[in-house]
Structure 1
Protein backbone atom coordinates (compact mmCIF):
# COMPACT_ATOMS: atom_id res chain seq x y z
CA UNK A 1 0.00 0.00 0.00
CA UNK A 2 1.45 3.35 -1.05
CA UNK A 3 2.20 5.87 1.66
CA UNK A 4 0.00 8.99 1.61
CA UNK A 5 1.62 11.92 -0.12
CA UNK A 6 2.09 15.36 1.38
CA UNK A 7 -1.06 16.80 -0.19
CA UNK A 8 -3.23 14.05 1.29
CA UNK A 9 -1.71 14.54 4.74
CA UNK A 10 -2.34 18.29 4.59
CA UNK A 11 -5.92 17.68 3.49
CA UNK A 12 -6.54 15.36 6.43
CA UNK A 13 -5.06 17.91 8.85
CA UNK A 14 -7.19 20.68 7.34
CA UNK A 15 -10.32 18.55 7.61
CA UNK A 16 -9.45 17.76 11.23
CA UNK A 17 -9.16 21.45 12.01
CA UNK A 18 -12.50 22.19 10.35
CA UNK A 19 -14.10 19.27 12.20
CA UNK A 20 -12.89 20.57 15.57
CA UNK A 21 -13.90 24.17 14.93
CA UNK A 22 -17.35 23.44 13.51
CA UNK A 23 -18.20 21.25 16.53
CA UNK A 24 -16.93 23.79 19.05
CA UNK A 25 -20.41 25.20 19.66
CA UNK A 26 -21.69 21.87 20.98
CA UNK A 27 -18.97 21.58 23.60
CA UNK A 28 -19.22 25.24 24.53
CA UNK A 29 -22.95 24.96 25.20
CA UNK A 30 -22.55 21.72 27.12
CA UNK A 31 -19.79 23.11 29.32
CA UNK A 32 -21.83 26.27 29.94
CA UNK A 33 -24.84 24.22 31.03
CA UNK A 34 -22.67 22.17 33.37
CA UNK A 35 -21.04 25.33 34.70
CA UNK A 36 -24.36 26.95 35.50
CA UNK A 37 -25.58 23.72 37.10
CA UNK A 38 -22.41 23.76 39.22
CA UNK A 39 -23.20 27.34 40.23
CA UNK A 40 -26.81 26.50 41.02
CA UNK A 41 -25.59 24.14 43.73
CA UNK A 42 -23.95 27.08 45.51
CA UNK A 43 -26.66 29.58 44.50
CA UNK A 44 -24.52 31.63 42.13
CA UNK A 45 -25.98 33.35 39.09
CA UNK A 46 -25.08 32.47 35.48
CA UNK A 47 -23.26 35.00 33.33
CA UNK A 48 -26.38 35.59 31.21
CA UNK A 49 -29.95 35.85 32.47
CA UNK A 50 -31.80 32.56 32.05
CA UNK A 51 -34.39 33.45 29.37
CA UNK A 52 -31.71 34.92 27.11
CA UNK A 53 -29.24 32.16 27.96
CA UNK A 54 -31.32 29.48 26.25
CA UNK A 55 -31.84 31.66 23.17
CA UNK A 56 -28.09 32.19 22.99
CA UNK A 57 -27.39 28.48 23.32
CA UNK A 58 -30.03 27.62 20.76
CA UNK A 59 -28.40 29.97 18.26
CA UNK A 60 -24.98 28.45 18.97
CA UNK A 61 -26.24 24.88 18.50
CA UNK A 62 -28.06 25.86 15.31
CA UNK A 63 -24.92 27.40 13.81
CA UNK A 64 -22.79 24.44 14.89
CA UNK A 65 -25.27 21.99 13.38
CA UNK A 66 -25.34 23.67 9.98
CA UNK A 67 -21.57 24.09 9.94
CA UNK A 68 -21.09 20.43 10.87
CA UNK A 69 -23.26 19.29 7.97
CA UNK A 70 -21.54 21.71 5.59
CA UNK A 71 -24.75 23.61 4.86
CA UNK A 72 -23.95 27.25 4.05
CA UNK A 73 -20.82 26.85 6.16
CA UNK A 74 -19.50 30.32 5.43
CA UNK A 75 -22.73 32.03 6.41
CA UNK A 76 -23.21 30.06 9.59
CA UNK A 77 -19.56 30.45 10.57
CA UNK A 78 -20.08 34.20 10.34
CA UNK A 79 -23.29 33.88 12.36
CA UNK A 80 -21.42 31.80 14.95
CA UNK A 81 -18.78 34.53 15.23
CA UNK A 82 -21.47 37.17 15.76
CA UNK A 83 -23.32 34.99 18.27
CA UNK A 84 -20.20 34.26 20.31
CA UNK A 85 -19.16 37.91 20.21
CA UNK A 86 -22.58 39.05 21.42
CA UNK A 87 -22.66 36.36 24.11
CA UNK A 88 -19.20 37.34 25.36
CA UNK A 89 -20.13 41.02 25.41
CA UNK A 90 -23.35 40.38 27.35
CA UNK A 91 -21.46 38.22 29.84
CA UNK A 92 -18.86 40.93 30.31
CA UNK A 93 -21.25 43.83 30.87
CA UNK A 94 -23.70 41.75 32.91
CA UNK A 95 -21.45 41.67 35.94
CA UNK A 96 -23.43 38.86 37.57
CA UNK A 97 -20.27 36.95 38.50
CA UNK A 98 -16.99 38.36 39.75
CA UNK A 99 -13.83 37.20 38.00
CA UNK A 100 -10.27 38.20 38.80
CA UNK A 101 -8.51 40.30 36.18
CA UNK A 102 -6.14 37.45 35.30
CA UNK A 103 -9.11 35.12 34.71
CA UNK A 104 -10.90 37.72 32.60
CA UNK A 105 -7.88 37.90 30.32
CA UNK A 106 -7.88 34.12 29.93
CA UNK A 107 -11.61 33.92 29.28
CA UNK A 108 -12.19 36.83 26.93
CA UNK A 109 -8.97 36.48 24.93
CA UNK A 110 -9.84 32.87 24.14
CA UNK A 111 -13.39 33.79 23.20
CA UNK A 112 -11.98 36.45 20.88
CA UNK A 113 -9.62 33.91 19.32
CA UNK A 114 -12.47 31.46 18.68
CA UNK A 115 -14.41 34.30 17.04
CA UNK A 116 -11.33 34.82 14.89
CA UNK A 117 -11.36 31.13 14.02
CA UNK A 118 -14.98 31.37 12.89
CA UNK A 119 -14.10 34.38 10.73
CA UNK A 120 -11.29 32.36 9.14
CA UNK A 121 -13.80 29.60 8.44
CA UNK A 122 -16.31 32.14 7.09
CA UNK A 123 -13.67 33.40 4.67
CA UNK A 124 -13.66 30.07 2.87
CA UNK A 125 -10.47 28.67 4.36
CA UNK A 126 -10.58 24.97 5.16
CA UNK A 127 -12.91 24.06 2.29
CA UNK A 128 -11.97 20.98 0.32
CA UNK A 129 -13.75 22.00 -2.87
CA UNK A 130 -13.83 25.78 -2.89
CA UNK A 131 -16.47 26.97 -5.34
CA UNK A 132 -16.16 30.65 -4.46
CA UNK A 133 -13.00 32.68 -3.92
CA UNK A 134 -12.16 33.15 -0.28
CA UNK A 135 -12.86 36.47 1.41
CA UNK A 136 -9.43 37.70 2.40
CA UNK A 137 -10.78 40.52 4.56
CA UNK A 138 -12.56 38.04 6.85
CA UNK A 139 -9.47 35.86 7.06
CA UNK A 140 -7.26 38.85 7.87
CA UNK A 141 -9.66 39.96 10.60
CA UNK A 142 -9.69 36.47 12.07
CA UNK A 143 -5.90 36.40 12.05
CA UNK A 144 -5.82 39.72 13.90
CA UNK A 145 -8.07 38.27 16.61
CA UNK A 146 -5.72 35.30 16.94
CA UNK A 147 -2.82 37.72 17.20
CA UNK A 148 -4.57 39.58 20.02
CA UNK A 149 -5.05 36.26 21.81
CA UNK A 150 -1.31 35.62 21.58
CA UNK A 151 -0.57 39.11 22.89
CA UNK A 152 -2.80 38.34 25.87
CA UNK A 153 -0.82 35.15 26.46
CA UNK A 154 2.39 37.19 26.47
CA UNK A 155 0.81 39.69 28.86
CA UNK A 156 -0.35 36.92 31.20
CA UNK A 157 3.06 35.27 31.26
CA UNK A 158 4.66 38.59 32.12
CA UNK A 159 2.16 40.13 34.53
CA UNK A 160 -0.14 37.40 35.88
CA UNK A 161 1.31 35.56 38.86
CA UNK A 162 -1.32 32.84 38.45
CA UNK A 163 -0.35 32.10 34.86
CA UNK A 164 3.36 32.38 35.53
CA UNK A 165 3.19 29.83 38.34
CA UNK A 166 1.21 27.45 36.14
CA UNK A 167 4.14 27.40 33.73
CA UNK A 168 6.98 27.68 36.24
CA UNK A 169 5.74 24.78 38.34
CA UNK A 170 4.97 22.39 35.52
CA UNK A 171 7.47 22.86 32.71
CA UNK A 172 11.23 22.21 32.79
CA UNK A 173 13.59 25.13 32.52
CA UNK A 174 11.77 27.48 34.86
CA UNK A 175 12.08 31.19 34.15
CA UNK A 176 14.24 30.66 31.06
CA UNK A 177 11.53 28.56 29.41
CA UNK A 178 8.83 31.07 30.33
CA UNK A 179 10.79 33.94 28.78
CA UNK A 180 11.45 31.84 25.70
CA UNK A 181 7.71 31.20 25.36
CA UNK A 182 7.06 34.92 25.78
CA UNK A 183 9.44 35.58 22.90
CA UNK A 184 7.92 32.87 20.69
CA UNK A 185 4.32 33.91 21.37
CA UNK A 186 5.26 37.55 20.79
CA UNK A 187 6.82 36.80 17.41
CA UNK A 188 3.82 34.66 16.43
CA UNK A 189 1.48 37.47 17.47
CA UNK A 190 3.32 39.92 15.22
CA UNK A 191 3.04 37.44 12.37
CA UNK A 192 -0.72 37.07 12.75
CA UNK A 193 -1.25 40.80 13.17
CA UNK A 194 0.85 41.70 10.15
CA UNK A 195 -0.33 38.84 7.93
CA UNK A 196 3.24 37.78 7.17
CA UNK A 197 4.31 34.12 7.35
CA UNK A 198 0.90 33.18 8.76
CA UNK A 199 1.09 29.58 7.55
CA UNK A 200 4.50 29.02 9.14
CA UNK A 201 3.41 30.71 12.36
CA UNK A 202 0.27 28.58 12.44
CA UNK A 203 2.34 25.44 12.04
CA UNK A 204 4.52 26.45 14.99
CA UNK A 205 1.48 27.33 17.09
CA UNK A 206 -0.17 24.02 16.14
CA UNK A 207 2.82 22.26 17.71
CA UNK A 208 2.82 24.37 20.90
CA UNK A 209 -0.91 24.50 21.66
CA UNK A 210 -1.46 20.78 22.39
CA UNK A 211 1.27 20.91 25.04
CA UNK A 212 -0.31 24.00 26.59
CA UNK A 213 -3.72 22.30 26.60
CA UNK A 214 -2.43 19.06 28.10
CA UNK A 215 0.07 20.25 30.68
CA UNK A 216 -1.09 23.77 31.58
CA UNK A 217 -4.85 23.89 31.01
CA UNK A 218 -5.24 20.24 31.97
CA UNK A 219 -3.68 20.76 35.39
CA UNK A 220 -6.96 20.78 37.33
CA UNK A 221 -5.16 20.41 40.63
CA UNK A 222 -3.63 23.84 40.11
CA UNK A 223 -6.50 25.76 38.50
CA UNK A 224 -9.45 24.26 40.34
CA UNK A 225 -8.02 23.59 43.78
CA UNK A 226 -5.29 26.21 44.11
CA UNK A 227 -6.75 29.07 42.04
CA UNK A 228 -10.42 28.32 42.68
CA UNK A 229 -11.41 28.29 39.02
CA UNK A 230 -14.72 26.49 38.72
CA UNK A 231 -14.27 23.01 37.31
CA UNK A 232 -16.59 23.49 34.35
CA UNK A 233 -15.25 26.96 33.68
CA UNK A 234 -11.82 25.39 33.28
CA UNK A 235 -13.33 22.73 31.02
CA UNK A 236 -14.88 25.52 28.96
CA UNK A 237 -11.49 27.24 28.70
CA UNK A 238 -9.91 23.98 27.55
CA UNK A 239 -12.63 23.63 24.92
CA UNK A 240 -11.91 27.14 23.70
CA UNK A 241 -8.23 26.37 23.32
CA UNK A 242 -9.12 23.20 21.42
CA UNK A 243 -11.31 25.30 19.12
CA UNK A 244 -8.41 27.70 18.61
CA UNK A 245 -6.23 24.70 17.80
CA UNK A 246 -8.73 23.72 15.10
CA UNK A 247 -8.55 27.20 13.57
CA UNK A 248 -4.75 27.09 13.67
CA UNK A 249 -4.75 23.74 11.86
CA UNK A 250 -6.81 25.30 9.07
CA UNK A 251 -4.41 28.22 8.73
CA UNK A 252 -1.40 25.90 8.94
CA UNK A 253 -2.57 23.97 5.88
CA UNK A 254 -4.76 26.43 3.97
CA UNK A 255 -3.66 29.83 5.25
Structure 2
Protein backbone atom coordinates (compact mmCIF):
# COMPACT_ATOMS: atom_id res chain seq x y z
CA UNK A 1 0.00 0.00 0.00
CA UNK A 2 2.86 2.39 0.80
CA UNK A 3 4.41 1.79 -2.64
CA UNK A 4 1.07 2.36 -4.38
CA UNK A 5 0.48 5.52 -2.36
CA UNK A 6 3.89 6.92 -3.31
CA UNK A 7 3.25 6.12 -6.96
CA UNK A 8 -0.04 7.98 -6.86
CA UNK A 9 1.59 11.00 -5.25
CA UNK A 10 4.27 11.10 -7.96
CA UNK A 11 1.60 10.79 -10.63
CA UNK A 12 -0.38 13.67 -9.15
CA UNK A 13 2.73 15.86 -8.96
CA UNK A 14 3.59 15.03 -12.55
CA UNK A 15 0.07 15.93 -13.67
CA UNK A 16 0.26 19.17 -11.69
CA UNK A 17 3.52 20.08 -13.41
CA UNK A 18 1.99 19.31 -16.82
CA UNK A 19 -1.06 21.46 -15.99
CA UNK A 20 1.16 24.43 -15.13
CA UNK A 21 3.33 24.05 -18.23
CA UNK A 22 0.52 23.47 -20.72
CA UNK A 23 -1.36 26.56 -19.46
CA UNK A 24 1.76 28.73 -19.56
CA UNK A 25 0.89 30.06 -23.03
CA UNK A 26 -2.33 31.66 -21.76
CA UNK A 27 -0.57 33.60 -19.01
CA UNK A 28 2.28 34.56 -21.31
CA UNK A 29 -0.11 36.04 -23.88
CA UNK A 30 -2.18 37.81 -21.21
CA UNK A 31 0.87 39.35 -19.54
CA UNK A 32 2.24 40.42 -22.93
CA UNK A 33 -1.04 42.16 -23.81
CA UNK A 34 -1.06 43.94 -20.46
CA UNK A 35 2.60 44.89 -20.91
CA UNK A 36 1.96 46.43 -24.31
CA UNK A 37 -1.08 48.25 -22.95
CA UNK A 38 1.16 49.59 -20.19
CA UNK A 39 3.64 50.77 -22.81
CA UNK A 40 0.93 52.40 -24.91
CA UNK A 41 0.41 54.96 -22.16
CA UNK A 42 4.00 56.15 -22.53
CA UNK A 43 4.17 55.49 -26.30
CA UNK A 44 6.71 52.66 -26.17
CA UNK A 45 6.70 49.98 -28.84
CA UNK A 46 6.02 46.27 -28.29
CA UNK A 47 8.90 43.82 -28.73
CA UNK A 48 7.46 42.48 -32.00
CA UNK A 49 5.80 44.47 -34.77
CA UNK A 50 2.02 44.50 -34.39
CA UNK A 51 0.92 42.41 -37.41
CA UNK A 52 3.29 39.59 -36.45
CA UNK A 53 2.46 39.97 -32.76
CA UNK A 54 -1.14 38.84 -33.27
CA UNK A 55 -0.03 35.85 -35.35
CA UNK A 56 2.46 34.92 -32.63
CA UNK A 57 -0.16 35.16 -29.88
CA UNK A 58 -2.68 33.22 -31.93
CA UNK A 59 -0.19 30.38 -32.40
CA UNK A 60 0.62 30.38 -28.68
CA UNK A 61 -3.04 30.23 -27.64
CA UNK A 62 -3.76 27.50 -30.20
CA UNK A 63 -0.91 25.30 -28.93
CA UNK A 64 -1.82 25.95 -25.29
CA UNK A 65 -5.46 25.07 -25.94
CA UNK A 66 -4.72 21.73 -27.60
CA UNK A 67 -2.09 20.84 -24.99
CA UNK A 68 -4.52 21.68 -22.18
CA UNK A 69 -7.19 19.38 -23.63
CA UNK A 70 -4.63 16.63 -24.24
CA UNK A 71 -5.19 16.60 -28.00
CA UNK A 72 -1.97 15.55 -29.78
CA UNK A 73 -0.12 16.99 -26.84
CA UNK A 74 3.32 15.92 -28.02
CA UNK A 75 2.89 17.60 -31.40
CA UNK A 76 1.48 20.82 -29.97
CA UNK A 77 4.17 20.92 -27.26
CA UNK A 78 6.70 20.79 -30.07
CA UNK A 79 4.76 23.54 -31.86
CA UNK A 80 4.73 25.64 -28.66
CA UNK A 81 8.51 25.25 -28.37
CA UNK A 82 8.96 26.38 -31.97
CA UNK A 83 6.53 29.30 -31.54
CA UNK A 84 8.33 30.55 -28.44
CA UNK A 85 11.74 30.14 -30.09
CA UNK A 86 10.64 32.20 -33.12
CA UNK A 87 8.98 34.80 -30.88
CA UNK A 88 12.06 35.17 -28.67
CA UNK A 89 14.38 35.43 -31.66
CA UNK A 90 12.12 38.00 -33.37
CA UNK A 91 11.95 40.16 -30.25
CA UNK A 92 15.73 39.92 -29.82
CA UNK A 93 16.69 40.92 -33.36
CA UNK A 94 13.85 43.44 -33.66
CA UNK A 95 15.54 45.81 -31.25
CA UNK A 96 12.36 47.88 -30.83
CA UNK A 97 12.81 48.08 -27.05
CA UNK A 98 16.06 48.60 -25.21
CA UNK A 99 16.75 46.37 -22.20
CA UNK A 100 19.73 46.36 -19.90
CA UNK A 101 22.10 43.41 -20.30
CA UNK A 102 21.17 41.99 -16.90
CA UNK A 103 17.47 42.07 -17.81
CA UNK A 104 18.14 40.44 -21.17
CA UNK A 105 19.80 37.53 -19.36
CA UNK A 106 16.76 37.16 -17.09
CA UNK A 107 14.27 37.34 -19.96
CA UNK A 108 15.92 35.22 -22.63
CA UNK A 109 17.32 32.55 -20.30
CA UNK A 110 13.84 31.90 -18.94
CA UNK A 111 12.42 31.73 -22.45
CA UNK A 112 15.09 29.13 -23.29
CA UNK A 113 14.10 27.14 -20.19
CA UNK A 114 10.41 27.20 -21.16
CA UNK A 115 11.35 25.98 -24.64
CA UNK A 116 13.23 23.16 -22.92
CA UNK A 117 10.18 22.40 -20.82
CA UNK A 118 8.01 22.11 -23.92
CA UNK A 119 10.56 19.77 -25.48
CA UNK A 120 10.44 17.61 -22.36
CA UNK A 121 6.64 17.57 -22.66
CA UNK A 122 6.89 16.73 -26.38
CA UNK A 123 9.07 13.74 -25.52
CA UNK A 124 6.17 12.10 -23.70
CA UNK A 125 7.37 12.77 -20.16
CA UNK A 126 4.58 13.52 -17.71
CA UNK A 127 1.93 11.52 -19.53
CA UNK A 128 -0.31 9.65 -17.09
CA UNK A 129 -1.09 6.79 -19.47
CA UNK A 130 1.79 6.67 -21.92
CA UNK A 131 0.70 4.79 -25.05
CA UNK A 132 3.90 5.38 -27.00
CA UNK A 133 7.47 5.24 -25.69
CA UNK A 134 8.97 8.61 -24.88
CA UNK A 135 11.44 10.23 -27.26
CA UNK A 136 14.63 10.35 -25.23
CA UNK A 137 16.40 12.64 -27.70
CA UNK A 138 13.75 15.35 -27.22
CA UNK A 139 13.91 14.99 -23.46
CA UNK A 140 17.70 15.23 -23.48
CA UNK A 141 17.54 18.36 -25.63
CA UNK A 142 15.00 19.90 -23.26
CA UNK A 143 17.26 19.10 -20.31
CA UNK A 144 20.16 20.85 -22.05
CA UNK A 145 18.01 23.98 -22.45
CA UNK A 146 17.19 23.88 -18.74
CA UNK A 147 20.90 23.50 -18.01
CA UNK A 148 21.66 26.61 -20.08
CA UNK A 149 19.07 28.52 -18.05
CA UNK A 150 20.71 27.44 -14.79
CA UNK A 151 24.12 28.53 -16.08
CA UNK A 152 22.63 31.96 -16.78
CA UNK A 153 21.18 32.11 -13.25
CA UNK A 154 24.58 31.21 -11.78
CA UNK A 155 26.24 33.82 -14.04
CA UNK A 156 23.79 36.49 -12.85
CA UNK A 157 24.57 35.75 -9.22
CA UNK A 158 28.21 36.62 -9.92
CA UNK A 159 27.98 39.42 -12.47
CA UNK A 160 24.58 41.12 -12.11
CA UNK A 161 24.41 43.72 -9.35
CA UNK A 162 20.62 43.72 -9.65
CA UNK A 163 20.24 39.98 -9.14
CA UNK A 164 22.84 39.85 -6.38
CA UNK A 165 21.04 42.54 -4.39
CA UNK A 166 17.68 40.80 -4.87
CA UNK A 167 19.11 37.66 -3.25
CA UNK A 168 21.19 39.40 -0.59
CA UNK A 169 18.14 41.33 0.61
CA UNK A 170 16.18 38.14 1.26
CA UNK A 171 18.54 35.32 2.21
CA UNK A 172 20.21 34.83 5.59
CA UNK A 173 23.97 34.40 5.60
CA UNK A 174 24.72 37.13 3.08
CA UNK A 175 27.59 36.57 0.67
CA UNK A 176 28.35 33.05 1.93
CA UNK A 177 24.83 31.83 1.19
CA UNK A 178 24.94 33.58 -2.18
CA UNK A 179 28.11 31.72 -3.13
CA UNK A 180 26.58 28.44 -1.98
CA UNK A 181 23.59 29.11 -4.23
CA UNK A 182 25.98 29.88 -7.09
CA UNK A 183 27.64 26.49 -6.60
CA UNK A 184 24.25 24.76 -6.30
CA UNK A 185 22.97 26.28 -9.55
CA UNK A 186 26.21 25.29 -11.25
CA UNK A 187 25.97 21.68 -10.05
CA UNK A 188 22.32 21.47 -11.14
CA UNK A 189 23.27 22.88 -14.55
CA UNK A 190 25.98 20.23 -14.97
CA UNK A 191 23.47 17.52 -14.04
CA UNK A 192 20.97 18.65 -16.68
CA UNK A 193 23.65 19.14 -19.32
CA UNK A 194 25.29 15.78 -18.70
CA UNK A 195 22.11 13.77 -18.19
CA UNK A 196 23.29 12.31 -14.87
CA UNK A 197 21.10 12.43 -11.74
CA UNK A 198 18.51 14.46 -13.64
CA UNK A 199 15.60 13.36 -11.45
CA UNK A 200 17.44 14.36 -8.25
CA UNK A 201 18.50 17.68 -9.78
CA UNK A 202 14.92 18.34 -10.90
CA UNK A 203 13.65 17.57 -7.40
CA UNK A 204 16.07 20.10 -5.91
CA UNK A 205 15.12 22.68 -8.55
CA UNK A 206 11.40 22.08 -7.97
CA UNK A 207 11.95 22.71 -4.26
CA UNK A 208 14.02 25.84 -4.85
CA UNK A 209 11.90 27.58 -7.50
CA UNK A 210 8.78 28.30 -5.38
CA UNK A 211 11.03 30.10 -2.87
CA UNK A 212 12.62 32.10 -5.68
CA UNK A 213 9.21 33.03 -7.11
CA UNK A 214 7.90 34.03 -3.68
CA UNK A 215 10.84 35.96 -2.24
CA UNK A 216 12.90 37.08 -5.27
CA UNK A 217 10.57 37.47 -8.25
CA UNK A 218 7.63 38.31 -6.01
CA UNK A 219 9.39 41.40 -4.65
CA UNK A 220 7.57 43.67 -7.09
CA UNK A 221 8.63 46.80 -5.23
CA UNK A 222 12.32 46.02 -5.73
CA UNK A 223 12.11 45.13 -9.43
CA UNK A 224 9.49 47.69 -10.52
CA UNK A 225 10.34 50.72 -8.42
CA UNK A 226 14.05 50.28 -7.74
CA UNK A 227 15.22 48.52 -10.92
CA UNK A 228 12.63 50.04 -13.27
CA UNK A 229 11.39 46.73 -14.65
CA UNK A 230 7.95 47.26 -16.15
CA UNK A 231 5.25 45.84 -13.87
CA UNK A 232 3.78 43.44 -16.42
CA UNK A 233 7.21 42.44 -17.66
CA UNK A 234 7.98 41.32 -14.11
CA UNK A 235 4.65 39.47 -13.96
CA UNK A 236 5.59 37.77 -17.22
CA UNK A 237 8.93 36.72 -15.70
CA UNK A 238 7.11 35.30 -12.67
CA UNK A 239 4.90 33.29 -15.03
CA UNK A 240 7.97 31.98 -16.83
CA UNK A 241 9.51 30.79 -13.58
CA UNK A 242 6.20 29.08 -12.74
CA UNK A 243 6.38 27.31 -16.11
CA UNK A 244 9.95 26.22 -15.39
CA UNK A 245 8.70 24.89 -12.04
CA UNK A 246 6.14 22.83 -13.96
CA UNK A 247 8.85 21.36 -16.18
CA UNK A 248 11.00 20.61 -13.12
CA UNK A 249 8.08 18.80 -11.48
CA UNK A 250 7.64 16.62 -14.57
CA UNK A 251 11.31 15.66 -14.60
CA UNK A 252 11.37 15.21 -10.80
CA UNK A 253 8.58 12.63 -10.95
CA UNK A 254 8.84 11.16 -14.43
CA UNK A 255 12.35 11.98 -15.58
The bucket for the TM-score relative to the shorter chain is over 0.9
Count, aligned residues = 254
In the alignment, the residues of structure 2 paired with residue 4 and residue 185 of structure 1 have an alpha-carbon distance, to the nearest angstrom, of 33
Stretches of structure 2 that go unaligned for 5 or more consecutive residues are none
How far residue 172 of structure 1 moved from its aligned partner, in angstroms, is: 1.1
Residue 31 of structure 2 is matched in structure 1 by 31
In the alignment, the residues of structure 2 paired with residue 174 and residue 36 of structure 1 have an alpha-carbon distance, to the nearest angstrom, of 37
Residue 138 of structure 2 is matched in structure 1 by 138
Residue 64 of structure 1 is matched in structure 2 by 64
How far residue 73 of structure 1 moved from its aligned partner, in angstroms, is: 0.1
The two structures have a TM-score, normalised by structure 1, of 0.98
Residue 51 of structure 1 is matched in structure 2 by 51
Segments ≥4 residues shifted beyond 2 Å: none
Cα offsets for 1:177-220 (capped at 9, x unmatched): 10010010000000000000000000001100000000000001
**RMSD in angstroms over aligned alpha carbons?**
1.1
How far residue 3 of structure 1 moved from its aligned partner, in angstroms, is: 11
How far residue 139 of structure 1 moved from its aligned partner, in angstroms, is: 0.2
Map residues 1-255 of structure 1 onto 2, 5 A cutoff. Answer: 5-255=5-255
- For residue 5 of structure 1, give the secondary structure of its aligned residue in structure 2: helix
Cα offsets for 1:66-116 (capped at 9, x unmatched): 000000000000000000000000000000000000000000000000000
Stretches of structure 1 that go unaligned for 5 or more consecutive residues are none
Cα offsets for 1:5-63 (capped at 9, x unmatched): 10010000000000000000000000000000000000000000111100000000000
In the alignment, the residues of structure 2 paired with residue 215 and residue 79 of structure 1 have an alpha-carbon distance, to the nearest angstrom, of 33
